């Protein structure tokens, strides 16, 4: 059996490759963003919109979850935030005539870029069973249809309710409440593919699945590790914070198989010198690690710390007072095999010893990370080992130190706090039961990977997506597409057209919704929503633009109206919640810890910070009552002869599955995305040449051939044995069953591939 990428993937015309850049941002960044904004919104709307991003009375940038901080620049946005805003505030529209012109099958053949470029969705659309087209439908009919399909299921567990991470706290809370009163915990979310590994590792070791660092801590740190993260593209505002930290004397170590431009050098576009000057060299040390080598690296540092003669190498006082499991951990780490470490990391002993020197010279250490750590089979053990590393020197629970998983979607952390989780704890369910007077289901629900399996096997039949692009974000594209097409009904609450509308169930609904930038008027007047950033800060977000169409409903309205249609007997006050979001926030304040006086505190200009026991009190609410040091077996991922380990990454011109444009400026790629970055020694070792056309074929133990055709080989300074290509084009290569231990996150950063001469 062979699985191939859909034909809609191909949009490369005139692909050009040049030398990668060694610096990020500065003038080209801002001009690129403004050009794309003007194209999408025009000049006046651009100025009006971009000036309100992340301002205290404006809206939260839909770009990423990096916090804003107190000292906001007039233009507290970045190039890629501006692109995310332009994408939503575009003046282009997808109308009923558009759907009359294009069949669903035709849409499925278009590229992600083309689909996204069509503009904002404007009215609810229905594809009836057997029909080739979407046609307009009234909201009432849409809700009636969804309600009757849901109620026709043999069990509520046959429905899947996905959430992407842009959904506000208010909408997320109402949504999970609806889903649980309907009777299931099937609430998979994008987190399952993103920071689930971080949440799993941190909950077990420090007692809370969130980072322990606030923005001000970066300025107090002596040493900051940036591991498995490309902030120049994905969290550009983080670069300013790193630059400030350096001014305050911090050293930075970048750990990455790729020399990412933003980490190497940075020109701050918010400052006059950024436009002309040399910029700042951010990383003092670059450890060019092999993919999946991080567990070995941090375990090696831990061994060196344990063996060090330096008097304060290990903080014994902290270990004795606050941690559990030291002996077992020490015994394990002292048995670490150096050959394994060198093989797994691709680093020399000298490089690791030099990094140890930085560590010993630093009183306060922060480790930041993103997808480079979370999307491997051993991601959870890797992050646990990083916690070991920090605990050894007492680097959790004091200023300038701690764990800093940098979240992706702007409210992905808040959605989890609001109960978007397939494995809710009993305290949360008890609080829901007490507040709303119903018995929520207790059995765990399906996460993203299990939801795909359930749809594939016919155990789940109705899919509702609250934002996102499920079919494109998930692994094993061919399997996922079939799973969705096999559903009785798929419904997507969306702002923009994407492939999940085209890979539709027998019956399919598009439910168009307001974006962050837009005014949300309800019966009681204008509403605002709230979000939680990567550091647990909660603040309000208010859109000011006129909605893209008069027919749009807010996500809150969609949930409340669906709940009324599907659960007519429900005693829950859906009307009141829809009319006034303060009512939702009052419910939240009684159900979710840390949200007391929510309505008052959210009206403070800077919002408020959620409590975090390890950060605030050095209290670790784990099973042992202490921070847990853990034993993490190192098994080296060995790639067979003639194969490469492939990671799937974002280009500079995309937001997850939304492709803004076809360039990846920092990596020197123009006008195309079907490229595979390979170390020059591997290019020649494999008998290839720079510029050769190859198919990427993934090898997995199930023997299924997964092929992504026609990629151009780009000789690139990545770590030897490692390759990189863009997602979502390469999702077809990630086997559904290849997931991380514990977190079940697809292993999108370690796919074993061979490169074959292109067939076509
Ligand atoms: N403009 C823009 N902003 C975004 C997004 C976007 O698509 N576009 N997406 C948002 C979302 S949802 C998320 S989760 C974040 C993602 O932010 P990132 O995690 O920065 O995104 P990726 O492109 O997946 O980059 C992974 C990085 O980890 C490195 N890496 C891969 N494997 C390994 C490894 O084994 N070890 C080490 N040490 N490094 C490794 C890669 O070389 C790369 O630099 O960004 C958010 N912000
Ligand atoms: N191979 C591979 N796969 C990956 C990853 C990887 O690194 N490699 N990364 C994974 C990660 S980290 C993540 S987070 C997921 C992302 O998975 P998703 O969150 O599902 O995907 P997005 O591309 O962010 O979703 C884009 C769509 O969201 C809709 N949208 C945008 N704004 C709003 C809004 O305000 N409301 C509503 N209702 N809809 C809106 C638009 O219709 C748009 O088309 O992908 C994962 N998949
Ligand atoms: Mo993400």
Please name which ligand lies nearest the alpha carbon of 117.
Answer: 2
How far is the C-alpha of 294 from the C-alpha of 300, rounded, in Å? 10
**Whole-number pLDDT of residue 62:** 83
- The C-alpha angle 70, 75, 76, rounded to 5 degrees, equals 40
**Whole-number pLDDT of residue 75:** 46
- pLDDT tens for each residue of 124-161: 999 999 999 999 999 999 999 999 999 999 999 999 99
438 Cα to the center of ligand 3, angstroms: 33
Helix (H, G, I), strand (E, B) or coil at 492: strand
Please name which ligand lies nearest the alpha carbon of 258.
Answer: 1
- pLDDT tens for each residue of 229-278: 999 999 988 998 999 999 999 999 999 999 998 887 766 655 544 444 55
Scan for tokens 């057209």, then name that residue: 497
94 C-beta closer than 6 A to ligand 1: no
How far is the C-alpha of 16 from the C-alpha of 668, rounded, in Å? 8
Scan for tokens 């020490």, then name that residue: 330
Q: Which residues contact 11 (CB under 8 A, 6 or more apart)?
A: 111, 113, 114, 659, 662, 673
**Whole-number pLDDT of residue 264:** 79
- pLDDT tens for each residue of 499-515: 999 999 999 999 999 99
Residue pair 732/695 in contact by the 8 Å Cβ criterion: no
Residue pair 47/538 in contact by the 8 Å Cβ criterion: no
Q: Is the pLDDT assigned to residue 61 strictly greater than 70?
A: yes
**What distance lies between CA 402 and its chain's CA centroid?**
21
How far is the C-alpha of 533 from the C-alpha of 504, rounded, in Å? 32
How far is the C-alpha of 202 from the C-alpha of 382, rounded, in Å? 11
Backbone φ, ψ for residue 610 (5° rounding): -75, 150
**Whole-number pLDDT of residue 742:** 98
**Whole-number pLDDT of residue 27:** 44
**Run of H or E including 366:** strand 365-369
- pLDDT tens for each residue of 71-122: 455 445 677 888 888 888 899 999 999 999 999 999 999 999 999 999 999 9
Compare 18 and 731 and report the one with higher pLDDT: 731
Q: Is the pLDDT assigned to residue 357 strictly greater than 70?
A: yes
188 Cα to the center of ligand 2, angstroms: 13
314 Cα to the center of ligand 2, angstroms: 41
Torsion of CA 198, 204, 206, 211, to 10 degrees: 20
**Whole-number pLDDT of residue 275:** 43
Could you tell me the pLDDT band of residue 47, with boundaries at 50, 70 and 90?
low
230 Cα to the center of ligand 1, angstroms: 5
| Domains of the chain, each with CATH number or no CATH | 93-191+411-615 (3.40.50.740), 196-406 (3.40.228.10), 644-757 (2.40.40.20)
Q: Is the pLDDT assigned to residue 14 strictly greater than 90?
A: no
Q: What is the mean pLDDT of residues 421-447?
A: 98
Please name which ligand lies nearest the alpha carbon of 657.
Answer: 2
- pLDDT tens for each residue of 264-313: 776 665 554 444 455 668 999 999 999 999 999 999 999 999 999 999 99
Cis peptide before 103 (omega within 30 of 0): no
Q: How far is CA 508 from CA 84, 490, 501, in A?
A: 27, 5, 8
Count of CB atoms within 10 A of residue 259's CB?
19
**Whole-number pLDDT of residue 149:** 98
Q: Which residues lie across from 509 on neighbouring strands?
A: 126, 491
Average pLDDT of every residue of the chain:
93
pTM more than 0.85: yes
Q: What is the mean pLDDT of residues 451-464?
A: 98
3-state secondary structure 283-307: CCEEECCCCCCHHHHHHHHHHHHHH
Helix (H, G, I), strand (E, B) or coil at 197: helix
464 Cα to the center of ligand 2, angstroms: 14
How far is the C-alpha of 254 from the C-alpha of 263, rounded, in Å? 7
Q: Which of 261, 215, 205, 230 is nearest to 631 (CA)?
A: 205
Torsion of CA 602, 608, 614, 618, to 10 degrees: -130
How far is the C-alpha of 304 from the C-alpha of 294, rounded, in Å? 15
**Whole-number pLDDT of residue 646:** 98
Widest CA span of the chain, in angstroms?
74
Q: Residue whose CA is closest, atom 23 of ligand 2?
A: 657
164 Cα to the center of ligand 3, angstroms: 9
Q: What is the mean pLDDT of residues 336-365?
A: 98
Scan for tokens 């109960």, then name that residue: 419
**Whole-number pLDDT of residue 79:** 79
Mutate to test the pocket of ligand 2, among 167, 199, 467 (most ligand atoms within 8 A of CB): 467
656 C-beta closer than 6 A to ligand 1: yes
502 Cα to the center of ligand 2, angstroms: 16
Could you tell me the pLDDT band of residue 169, with boundaries at 50, 70 and 90?
very high
Number of helices and strands (H, E) in the chain? 33, 33
How far is the C-alpha of 341 from the C-alpha of 295, rounded, in Å? 9
Six token digits for residue 452: 């795909």
731 C-beta closer than 6 A to ligand 2: yes
How far is the C-alpha of 558 from the C-alpha of 580, rounded, in Å? 14
Mutate to test the pocket of ligand 1, among 33, 197, 229 (most ligand atoms within 8 A of CB): 229
287 C-beta closer than 6 A to ligand 1: no
- The C-alpha angle 381, 190, 589, rounded to 5 degrees, equals 95
**Whole-number pLDDT of residue 572:** 98
Q: Residue whose CA is closest, atom 18 of ligand 2?
A: 468
Task: Tell me the CB-side half-sphere exposure of residue 85, using CA atoms within 13 A.
Answer: 33
Q: Is the pLDDT assigned to residue 29 strictly greater than 80?
A: no
Size of the chain, expressed as the number of residues it contains: 760
Please name which ligand lies nearest the alpha carbon of 723.
Answer: 1
How far is the C-alpha of 747 from the C-alpha of 305, rounded, in Å? 30
659 C-beta closer than 6 A to ligand 1: no
275 Cα to the center of ligand 2, angstroms: 32
Please name which ligand lies nearest the alpha carbon of 29.
Answer: 1
198 Cα to the center of ligand 2, angstroms: 19
**What proportion of the chain, given as a percentage, has pLDDT over 70?**
92
Q: Residue whose CA is closest, atom 17 of ligand 1?
A: 234
Q: What is the mean pLDDT of residues 587-612?
A: 97
556 C-beta closer than 6 A to ligand 2: no
- Hey, which bits of 377-522 come out as E strands? 402-405, 462-466, 489-494, 507-512, 520-522
Mutate to test the pocket of ligand 1, among 61, 230, 676 (most ligand atoms within 8 A of CB): 230
**Whole-number pLDDT of residue 5:** 47
**Whole-number pLDDT of residue 422:** 98
């Amino acid at each position: 059996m062979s699985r191939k990428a859909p034909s809609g993937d191909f949009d490369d015309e005139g692909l050009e490759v040049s030398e990668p850049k060694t610096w990020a941002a500065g003038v080209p960044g801002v001009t690129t963003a403004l050009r794309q904004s003007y194209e999408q919104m025009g000049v006046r709307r651009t100025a009006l919109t971009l000036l309100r991003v992340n301002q205290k009375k404006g809206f939260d940038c839909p770009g990423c979850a990096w916090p804003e901080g107190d000292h906001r620049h007039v233009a507290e946005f970045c190039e890629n935030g501006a692109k995310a805003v332009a994408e939503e505030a575009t003046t282009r529209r997808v109308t009923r005539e558009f759907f009359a012109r294009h069949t669903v099958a035709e849409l499925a053949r278009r590229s992600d870029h083309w689909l996204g470029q069509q503009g904002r969705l404007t009215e609810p659309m229905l594809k009836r069973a057997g029909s080739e087209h979407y046609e307009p439908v009234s909201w009432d009919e849409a809700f009636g249809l969804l309600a009757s399909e849901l109620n026709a299921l043999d069990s509520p567990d046959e429905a899947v309710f996905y959430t992407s991470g842009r959904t506000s706290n208010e909408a997320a809370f109402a949504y999970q409440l609806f889903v649980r009163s309907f009777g299931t915990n099937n609430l998979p979310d994008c987190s399952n593919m993103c920071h689930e590994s971080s949440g799993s590792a941190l909950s077990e070791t420090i007692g809370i699945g969130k980072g322990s660092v606030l923005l001000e801590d970066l300025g107090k740190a002596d040493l900051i590790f940036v591991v498995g993260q490309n902030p120049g593209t994905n969290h550009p505002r983080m670069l300013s914070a790193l630059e400030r930290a350096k001014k305050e004397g911090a050293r930075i170590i970048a750990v990455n198989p790729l020399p990412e431009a933003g980490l190497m050098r940075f020109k701050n576009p918010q400052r006059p010198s950024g436009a002309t000057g040399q910029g700042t060299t951010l990383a003092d040390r670059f450890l060019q690690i092999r993919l999946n080598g991080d567990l070995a690296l941090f375990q090696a540092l831990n061994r060196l710390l344990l063996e060090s003669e330096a008097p304060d190498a290990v903080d014994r006082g902290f270990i004795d007072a606050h941690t559990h499991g030291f002996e077992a951990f020490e015994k394990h780490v002292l048995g670490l095999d150096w050959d394994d470490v060198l093989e797994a990391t691709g680093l020399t002993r000298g490089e690791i010893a030099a990094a140890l020197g930085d560590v010993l010279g630093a009183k306060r250490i922060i480790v930041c990370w993103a997808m480079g750590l979370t999307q491997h089979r051993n991601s959870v053990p890797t992050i646990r080992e990083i916690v070991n590393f920090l605990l050894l020197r007492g680097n959790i629970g004091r200023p300038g130190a701690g764990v800093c998983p940098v979240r992706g979607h702007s409210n992905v952390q808040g959605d989890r706090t609001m109960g978007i989780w397939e494995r809710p704890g009993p305290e949360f369910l008890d609080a829901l039961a007490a507040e709303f007077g119903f018995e929520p289901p207790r059995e765990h629900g399906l996460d993203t990977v299990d939801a795909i399996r359930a749809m594939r096997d016919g155990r789940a039949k109705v899919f509702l997506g609250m934002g996102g692009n499920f079919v494109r974000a998930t692994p094993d594209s061919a399997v996922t597409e079939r799973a969705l097409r096999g559903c009785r009904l798929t419904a997507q609450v969306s702002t923009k057209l994407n492939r999940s509308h085209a890979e539709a169930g027998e019956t399919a609904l598009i439910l168009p919704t307001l974006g962050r930038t837009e005014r949300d008027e309800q019966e009681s007047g204008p509403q605002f929503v709230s979000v939680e950033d990567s550091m647990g800060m909660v603040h309000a977000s208010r859109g000011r633009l006129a909605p893209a169409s008069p027919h749009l409903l807010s996500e809150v309205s969609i949930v409340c109206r669906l709940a009324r249609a599907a659960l007519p007997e429900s005693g829950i006050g859906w009307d009141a919640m829809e009319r006034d979001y303060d009512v939702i926030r009052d419910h939240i304040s009684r159900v979710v810890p840390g949200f007391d006086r929510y309505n008052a505190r959210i009206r403070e200009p800077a919002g408020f910070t959620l409590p975090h026991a390890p950060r605030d009190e050095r209290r670790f609410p784990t099973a042992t009552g202490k921070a847990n040091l853990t034993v993490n077996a190192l098994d080296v991922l060995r790639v067979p002869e003639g194969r490469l380990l492939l990671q799937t990454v974002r280009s500079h011109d995309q937001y997850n599955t939304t492709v803004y444009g076809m360039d990846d400026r920092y990596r020197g790629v123009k006008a195309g995305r079907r490229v595979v970055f390979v170390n020059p020694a591997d290019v020649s070792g494999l008998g290839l040449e720079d510029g050769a056309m190859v198919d990427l074929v993934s090898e997995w133990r199930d023997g299924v051939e997964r092929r992504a055709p026609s990629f151009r080989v780009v000789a690139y300074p990545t770590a030897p044995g490692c390759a990189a290509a863009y997602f979502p084009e390469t999702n077809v290569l990630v086997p559904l069953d290849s997931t991380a231990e514990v977190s079940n996150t697809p292993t999108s950063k370690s796919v074993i591939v061979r490169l074959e001469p292109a067939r076509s």
